[in-house]
């Protein structure tokens, strides 16, 4: 009877252990955070900047490239790429540019190692502004203090 309880307990904990193992496998030493355009806004068919912050908490040097695709587009056609060299235990900021579509959509950015393995990714939404809208851009340490324009 005692061994039957132990066996049923082991069987009931198995799915939990598999879920935890899968989650641990997704959390690698490299992370990516992407910020698109001007507070997420962009002009249709215009070049749009993307700031991508990469973090490598692992002990190995990462060599690869950042690749960008429209959601649903073929993975063989990339609109922009940037070479990456990320030392161990470091954080770096990269900038890439791409032409936005005529409509709001999503874009995915991936860090792909030189061996072809996808190490990290980030998905960002695109908010397309009207062609008649104006962007006011300020540069400085307090650039976000233009709240009076709202």
10-29 pLDDT tens trace? 555 545 444 444 334 345 79
Q: Are 120 and 110 in contact (CB under 8 A)?
A: yes
CATH of domain 29-131: 2.60.40.10
Distances (CA, A) of 92 to 4, 44, 57: 54, 28, 12
Nearest alpha carbon to residue 56 among 132, 125, 8, 119: 119
For residue 23, the SS3 value is helix
Q: Which residue has the tokens 């936005």?
A: 100
pLDDT at position 101 is: 74
pLDDT of residue 84: 95
Question: Residue 77: pLDDT above 80?
Answer: no
Tokens of 114: 């030189």
Q: What is the pLDDT of residues 94-139, one digit of tens each?
A: 999 888 877 667 888 999 999 999 999 998 888 888 778 776 666 6
Question: What integer pLDDT is reported at residue 21 of this predicted model?
Answer: 40
Q: What is the pLDDT of residue 24?
A: 40
Average per-residue pLDDT for the chain: 75
- What's the predicted TM-score (pTM) here? 0.67
DSSP string covering 86-107? E-TTEEEEEEEEEE--SS--EE
pLDDT at 146 over 90: no
- Report residue 47 CA to chain centroid gap: 19
């Amino acid at each position: 009877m005692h061994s039957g309880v132990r066996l049923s307990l082991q069987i009931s904990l198995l799915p939990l252990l598999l879920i935890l193992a899968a989650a641990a496998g997704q959390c690698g030493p490299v992370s990516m955070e992407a910020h698109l355009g001007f507070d997420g806004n962009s002009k249709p068919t215009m070049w749009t900047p993307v700031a991508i912050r990469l973090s490598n908490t692992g002990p190995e040097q990462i060599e690869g490239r950042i690749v960008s695709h429209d959601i649903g587009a073929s993975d063989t056609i990339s609109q922009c790429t940037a070479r990456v060299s990320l030392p161990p235990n470091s954080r770096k900021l990269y900038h890439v540019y791409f032409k936005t579509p005529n409509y709001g959509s999503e874009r995915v950015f991936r860090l792909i190692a030189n061996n072809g393995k996808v190490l990290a990714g980030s998905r960002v939404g695109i908010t397309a502004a009207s062609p008649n809208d104006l962007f006011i851009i300020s540069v400085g340490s307090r650039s976000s203090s233009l709240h009076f324009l709202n």
